[in-house]
A and B are shown apart, each in its own frame.
Chain A
Amino acid sequence: MSSLSRDVAIAGLGYSAISRAGTPDPRQLTFDAVSAALRDAGLRGADVDGIFEYKFGPDSPTAQETARMIGAPDLAAFADIMASGPSGLASALVGVMAVASGVCETVVVFRCLTREAGYMGGVSEGGERLADQSQYLVPYGYLGGIIVDIALAKRRWLAQYGRTEEDFGRLAINARRWSALNPRAVLRDPLTMDDYLSSKTIADPLRLLDCDYPVNGAVATVITTAERARDLAQPLVTVDSMSYGTGGEVDWVFGSDFLYGGTIPCAERMWARSSVTAADVDVAQVYDGFTMVTAQWIEALGFCGIGEFGDWIGDGSRIGPGGDLPMNTSGGQLAEGRLHGISFLNEAVAQLRGQADQRQVTGAEVAVVASGLYPQCGAMVLTTG
């Protein structure tokens, strides 16, 4: 029995083709990923009674448009979650709640991105009047999405803990160790620390190789009751516990914990509800939209103490193939591509099913997935059976 009011299983995993170039139709990407996830589960569109999408940018099809494409007869619940959630994992967190509560029986969740919509570095035309909270940021050149925020956090982290950038470089290098084993990944060449340290700055001290890599692609997941999933196509993987987190005085810049955002309360709440502990985790899939976010999560999740990431990561081998805590085994968003949250969930489930091919972590029974950052945190513990 999990901490949820009804036991919930992750029953189907699907991906579209993932590409670095071109302008594929987002409807095609979404249809391909959702259809693949349903096939993987042994289900059809006719079985679906809930659809949740995580969205920013207008280009992806809505939950209703997707229902039409897959032939869902009617939806008991649906939402297009705008970009204030824990990245794409938000759609799965809502899907789990919908099934656990009994509102839905079988839910499809998805995230579809194209390079164009995901690109945050565009040059604006100018002259805007800002009536919202951005008026305290953007007139000062806080631009490029949250790039400046992450650059500020990286410099503060290094100063506060007396560390060097190599700590974050270990995460960039780890991504490529794993992506070399993942045919889906778009960046598969190995990286050296010199490559990391010589990569250009986006907003000093944030480097290009601290940032994830934009792609065209869609990821989908099928969520249903554990009871139903036992009769479906795949080995059973269930949700043990989950939580969101925002942190206090909720804000990207002015929140009460500038170095960790909502990661710490999110992880504490999730573990308090879980049947396992951080020490039981066999494989971890942790958000890497920026390398320092992974470092925040590693500490918040309790894999080491607060401020101890640099010592803990060592030469980086412990999170690589054969390490004691294999992490981001798909290559993550840094190397598989920026598929935004759900891709971490799908990789965790593939590991727990024993279907991760060359990347398989032997005997993996407990996985943690953590996604998002600052006021937009979410995490899940998954177990076999």
Chain B
Amino acid sequence: MTETDVRSMDLRPRPEPNETNAFFWDAAAGHQLVLQRCDACSQFQYPPDVACVHCQCTELTPTEMSGRATLYSYAVVDRLFHVGFASVLPYVVGLAELDEQAGLRMLTNIVDTRPEEVQIGMPLEVCFEDRGEITLPQFRPRGDA
């Protein structure tokens, strides 16, 4: 590996998909937000798992979400905990509650805005951040709201 390769590498930790969650990360790569929906109780869940956390049914159908959400809470990180995040400080970590189901939350960054403009309760929409071989679902303020 040349010195240039090392410098251009994104050092932020990245997911290593497996057979349970590959559908989620593959969908993100295609810029779709897809979560498991239980065939028995119709509830969504996140993160992906091998059984429904609500009723333990093992029949779970990957289902595209609207991507609409509300900000449940957020924190602003402005100190260096990990070398891979040095160039993105300060950043906002939030919990986005998806419109489809009360209590269904994803941990996300709140992107395309400044920390001082972020507020609990603000409407959000999903967007996607390509980081080399992996794509992360992210959330940003929703324009139409």
Contact = CB atoms under 8 A, between A and B. Distances in A.
B41 interface: no
B78 A131 contact: no
B74 A155 contact: yes
Given A126-B82, A129-B16, A131-B18, A141 B76 contact: no
Contacts of B91: 141
Interface string A123-149: 111111111011111111111100010
A206 B75 contact: yes
B88 A155 contact: no
B13 A126 contact: yes
Given A131-B16, A137-B107, A155-B120, A126 B75 contact: no
Query: Which of B13, B47, B82, B106 has the largest count of A CB atoms less than 10 A from its CB?
Result: B13
A141 B80 CA distance: 10
A264 B88 CA distance: 37
B63 interface: no
5 contacts: A123-B80, A127-B11, A141-B12, A156-B73, A203-B75
Q: How large is the interface on A (under 10, 10 to 19, 20 to 34, 35 or more residues)?
A: 35 or more
A203 B106 CA distance: 19
Contacts of B53: 249
B80 A133 contact: no
B15 to A, nearest CB: 4
Interface string A252-290: 011010100000000000000000000000000000000
Contact of A139 (B13, B72, B115): B13
Contacts of A137: 107
A354 interface: no
Contacts of A129: 13-16
Nearest to B109: A140
Interface residues on B, range: 35 or more
Contacts of A124: 13, 81-84
A141 B79 CA distance: 11
A173 B73 CA distance: 26
A164 interface: no
Interface in B50-97: 53-54, 72-85, 88, 91, 93-95
B9 interface: yes
A253 B107 contact: yes
A140 B46 contact: no
A-B pairs, 4 with minimum CB distance:
A126-B11, A151-B75, A143-B81, A135-B15
A148 B93 contact: yes
Given A123-B80, A125-B11, A126-B11, 7 more contacts: A130-B13, A130-B14, A131-B18, A135-B21, A155-B120, A202-B79, A203-B77
Nearest to A204: B76
B11 A258 contact: no
B107 A136 contact: yes
A254 B47 contact: yes
A249 B43 CA distance: 13
A156 B83 contact: no
Contacts, number: 130
A253 B91 CA distance: 18
A124 B72 CA distance: 28
A122 B79 CA distance: 11
Contacts of A249: 53-54
A209 to B, nearest CB: 16
Max chain B Cβ within 10 angstroms of own Cβ: one of A141, A205, A256: A141
Interface in B100-139: 103, 105-109, 115, 120-121, 131, 134, 136
A141 to B, nearest CB: 5
Contacts of B11: 125-127
Contacts of B15: 129-131, 135-136, 139
B82 A127 contact: no
A163 B76 CA distance: 19
A195 B46 CA distance: 40
B76 A123 contact: no
A174 B72 CA distance: 30
A143 B85 contact: yes
Interface in A188-226: 201-206
A151 B106 CA distance: 16
Interface in A102-135: 121-131, 133-135
Interface string B1-25: 0000000010111111010010000
Given A143-B85, A206-B75, A135 B16 contact: yes
A131 B94 CA distance: 22
A152 interface: yes
Interface in B20-50: 21, 46-47
A143 B81 CA distance: 6
A159 B77 CA distance: 19
Nearest to B90: A204
Contacts of A127: 9, 11, 13, 84
